[in-house]
Amino acid sequence: MGLFQERENQMTATSREDIILYIVGGLIGVLGLLTGAAMLVNRIACGAWAAPSGVFDVFSFFGTGDASVFGQTTEGCAAPGGAIVTVWVITLILVVSGAIVGVIKYREYLESDGYFVKRLRERRGVAKRREVNKAMGHKAAVKVVGKVRPTLKEKPLPEKANIEFGYSEGIQSWIALEESIVFIGPPRSGKGVNILVKAIIDAPGPVITTSSRADNYAMTAAIRAKRGPVTLFDPQGLTGKPTTLKWSPITGCETARVANQRATSLVSAAGLSEDSSNSEWRPPAIGIMQALLHACALAGEGVDTLMKWGTSPAEAKDAVKILREHEEAGRAARGWATSLESEIESDPKMRTNKWFGVANAVGGLSVDNVRDVMNPKTKDEEFNIDEFIQKSGTLYIVGTKTGGSSAGPFLVAMMDAITERAREIAAKSEGNRLDPPMMLVLDEIANITKAWEGLVPLMADGGGVGICVMAVFQSMAQVRNSWGEQAASAIFDAATVKIQLGGASNTQDLEVLSTLAGQREVVRSSKTRQKDGSSVSDQLHEKKVFEVSELHRLPFGWAVVFFRNNRPMLMKLTPYWKSKYAEEINMTKKLYAQSLLDEGEEDSWEKHLGSMEDGEIVASEVVDTDEATGEVRQEPEAKTDDEQPSNEDSADKPSITMF
């Protein structure tokens, strides 16, 4: 067998001869210990060393009680026998106690997370230091900067085009902002504190981040405000902050292409996706919705009218008149008026089914808070997508897909509008990509909307145009439930980086990752004993690199990373409290919590956000411990002025917008 073959087990000796050998060896060790203790007592009592004849003098002492068997000094001095016995008793008590404690501690270590990870890291099927360094190390991160940031004139530092992720085999690892990332971790597995918070803060360009809670907003908004305008979209009031977002789904729908895209987004997010059980009603629902949006835009109507038309086919007759008038003037899409009229006048039973998706899509507008958010009074009041992209803004989308105030379809429509505009800007930019790239940190996206169909193409080609997607799910079952079987598979397959945290319990999904990790060869040794001697045989066996149970047991703060076609990597994640921003994040969290408890503190929170406008973004530094020794690694040296990120991403003064 090869010299470096992994061995599954060590040979054990259980024969009578071996047991006798161990007993004899242990007895000689005890005799040696007692003899040494007697010599030490003799040295203390007589002031000089005496040389015994051997370790078996212990038996002579037990037989005669004469301590001189351990030797005498030149003056004839020997230690008192009672003193020797006392020291022996104390020594044996200490040795036995130490052995018991040692056995207990060793058994605890064998069952510890540290030993578990150590065994996983030693496996041949897991990426080692050289492979990690080549794929995700410092040089790889620097190399990709020129590609991801074609207009960057500064020194190509890793943080200009990458997100620091953690340590694997002692190598600081980076993920380039051209990758498509699927991040899977059950609730309370450390997704936010270990990855998402840092990803939001460190992204060099615009960020769209979703969540069903306020945590990410509370920890990162003030720091992101140093880079560009910060916007909160929380129509359900989950953050406890006032919602003043102004963006209309009707904006741009004067153009038939935009009206069709917007209608597709709204209807799909309302539950009529291509994989839904009622998918046959999807095309007519999109046709109706696009006509209503087109009519509203041409007539200058707002979402109040859209809601009225979307919930009542009879009221939608006004939309037919508007479309027909504008069609005659050459401003409306040809045939849309006739198509909408035929749907309104169709059989009532069929019409109800066709209108079902439309009514669901506009249902959120029945809630005042949502309707106000979607109804800007002036152009200046409306969310400016171009400004958001150009000034590296941050959009926090907080909500759930449950409850009467759910704004899921409109959240999806807005994200589609932003990403579609980003594609248009990228097509006209150097290298045909956004610079700096846009990052989508989609935490709990499956809990915010039923399905965002735009996620599938973004996962496939977003990285090529400067849109990096990090889709965060509790499990792939959650994805299948929202997107359907085929779309879920497409999302998973398109991900160039797949991250799995511990605690997952869906064995079928874990089996997929276990299969991706592959097999490893291990040597299984066996020893056979017979009367005429013994023989040892080695056999090669194939075992999985990761068993399903091992993926489930991954400790907090550790992840298995599948990066492109590399072998799986065991990654020690870097939590936010080891970053340069730790103190600032903790202060911001505290101030945010106080502002919720005391209305008087609300102004302090607003001032805190405002005070960050002129701040400077500095690359994250982490304080990490050596995985093998547990010692703290030396912190990186302070960056010189020419290494500090410039204000290229925030040439204009950032602003804070609460909505």
Q: Please check the confidence at residue 657 and state whether its pLDDT lies above 60.
A: no
pLDDT band at 466 (very low <50, low <70, confident <90, very high): very high
Which of 542, 562, 578 is a domain's end point? 578
526 and 401 both lie in a single domain: yes
The answer to whether position 384 is within a domain reads: no
Q: Please check the confidence at residue 448 and state whether its pLDDT lies above 50.
A: yes
Tell me if residue 307 falls in helix, strand or coil. Answer: helix
Which of 537, 563, 578 is a domain's end point? 578
Q: Please check the confidence at residue 4 and state whether its pLDDT lies above 60.
A: no
542 and 399 both lie in a single domain: yes
Q: Please check the confidence at residue 60 and state whether its pLDDT lies above 90.
A: no
Side chain identity, residue 356: F
Question: How far is Cα 644 from Cα 136, in angstroms, rounded to an integer?
Answer: 22
Question: How far is Cα 286 from Cα 271, in angstroms, rounded to an integer?
Answer: 12
459 and 554 both lie in a single domain: yes
148 and 105 both lie in a single domain: no
Task: Identify which of 145, 146, 151, 144 has the alpha carbon closest to the alpha carbon of residue 435.
Answer: 151
The answer to whether position 317 is within a domain reads: yes
Q: What average pLDDT does the segment 437-464 reach?
A: 90
Q: What is the pLDDT of residue 451?
A: 78
Q: What is the pLDDT of residue 649?
A: 40
Q: Please check the confidence at residue 483 and state whether its pLDDT lies above 70.
A: yes
Q: What is the pLDDT of residue 204?
A: 94
Q: Please check the confidence at residue 609 and state whether its pLDDT lies above 80.
A: no
Q: What average pLDDT does the segment 41-69 reach?
A: 78
The answer to whether position 58 is within a domain reads: yes
Distances (CA, A) of 584 to 175, 399, 580: 24, 26, 8
Q: What is the pLDDT of residue 506?
A: 92
Q: What average pLDDT does the segment 375-379 reach?
A: 83
Question: How far is Cα 408 from Cα 308, in angstroms, rounded to an integer?
Answer: 19
Strand-by-strand arrangement of the 438-442 sheet: 171-176, 162-168, 569-573, 558-563, 497-501, 180-184, 467-473, 438-442, 207-211, 394-398, 230-233, 656-658
400 and 530 both lie in a single domain: yes
Q: Please check the confidence at residue 117 and state whether its pLDDT lies above 80.
A: yes
Q: What is the pLDDT of residue 226?
A: 87
DSSP state of 625: B
User: pLDDT tens digits for 174-224?
Assistant: 999 999 999 999 998 999 999 999 999 999 999 999 998 889 999 999 899
Q: What percent of the chain has pLDDT over 90?
A: 48
Q: Please check the confidence at residue 652 and state whether its pLDDT lies above 50.
A: no
Residue 535's contacts (CB-CB under 8 Å, 6 or more residues apart) are: 527, 528
Strand-by-strand arrangement of the 6-7 sheet: 6-7, 519-530, 533-544
Q: Please check the confidence at residue 50 and state whether its pLDDT lies above 80.
A: no
Q: What average pLDDT does the segment 319-338 reach?
A: 93
What is the largest distance, in Å, between two alpha-carbon atoms of the chain? 130
Q: What average pLDDT does the segment 397-422 reach?
A: 81
pLDDT band at 530 (very low <50, low <70, confident <90, very high): low
- 47-56, 184-193, 262-271, 472-481: segment of lowest average pLDDT: 47-56
Question: How far is Cα 183 from Cα 204, in angstroms, rounded to an integer?
Answer: 20
Residue 379's contacts (CB-CB under 8 Å, 6 or more residues apart) are: none
Most confident option among 125-129, 279-283, 396-400:
125-129
User: pLDDT tens digits for 569-597?
Assistant: 999 999 999 888 899 899 888 888 888 88
Per the CB < 8 A criterion, the answer to whether 287 and 323 are in contact is: no
Number of domains the chain contains: 3
Q: What is the pLDDT of residue 381?
A: 82
The answer to whether position 247 is within a domain reads: no
Tell the residue number behind the tokens 């919720």, with chain if given.
Answer: 596
Does residue 386 or residue 14 have the better pLDDT? Answer: 386
145 and 269 both lie in a single domain: no
Q: What average pLDDT does the segment 493-520 reach?
A: 94
523 and 400 both lie in a single domain: yes
317 and 439 both lie in a single domain: no
Does residue 385 or residue 271 have the better pLDDT? Answer: 385
| Alpha carbon of residue 265 to chain centroid | 27
206 and 348 both lie in a single domain: no
83 and 154 both lie in a single domain: no
Q: Please check the confidence at residue 349 and state whether its pLDDT lies above 90.
A: no
Q: What is the pLDDT of residue 528?
A: 67
Average pLDDT, the chain: 84
Q: Please check the confidence at residue 635 and state whether its pLDDT lies above 90.
A: no
Task: Identify which of 448, 511, 496 has the alpha carbon closest to the alpha carbon of residue 474.
Answer: 448
Which residue intervals of 367-475 are DSSP H helices?
368-373, 385-390, 408-427, 445-448, 455-461
The answer to whether position 442 is within a domain reads: yes
Which of 522, 546, 578 is a domain's end point? 578
30 and 72 both lie in a single domain: yes
Q: Which two tokens stand for residue 377?
A: 């009074």
Residue 203's contacts (CB-CB under 8 Å, 6 or more residues apart) are: 163, 177, 439, 441, 468
437 and 569 both lie in a single domain: yes
Q: What is the pLDDT of residue 290?
A: 96
User: pLDDT tens digits for 257-298?
Assistant: 999 999 999 998 887 777 667 778 889 999 999 999 999 999
pLDDT band at 118 (very low <50, low <70, confident <90, very high): very high
Most confident option among 33-37, 126-130, 643-647:
126-130
**Cα end-to-end span (Å), the chain:** 66
Q: What is the pLDDT of residue 371?
A: 86
Tell me if residue 145 falls in helix, strand or coil. Answer: helix
Q: Please check the confidence at residue 619 and state whether its pLDDT lies above 60.
A: no
Q: Please check the confidence at residue 338 and state whether its pLDDT lies above 90.
A: yes
Q: What is the pLDDT of residue 630?
A: 39
The answer to whether position 426 is within a domain reads: no
The domain in which residue 173 lies consists of 138-236+391-409+432-578
The answer to whether position 241 is within a domain reads: no
Q: What is the pLDDT of residue 402?
A: 67
Question: How far is Cα 24 from Cα 537, in angstroms, rounded to an integer?
Answer: 28
DSSP state of 194: I
Q: What is the pLDDT of residue 623?
A: 43
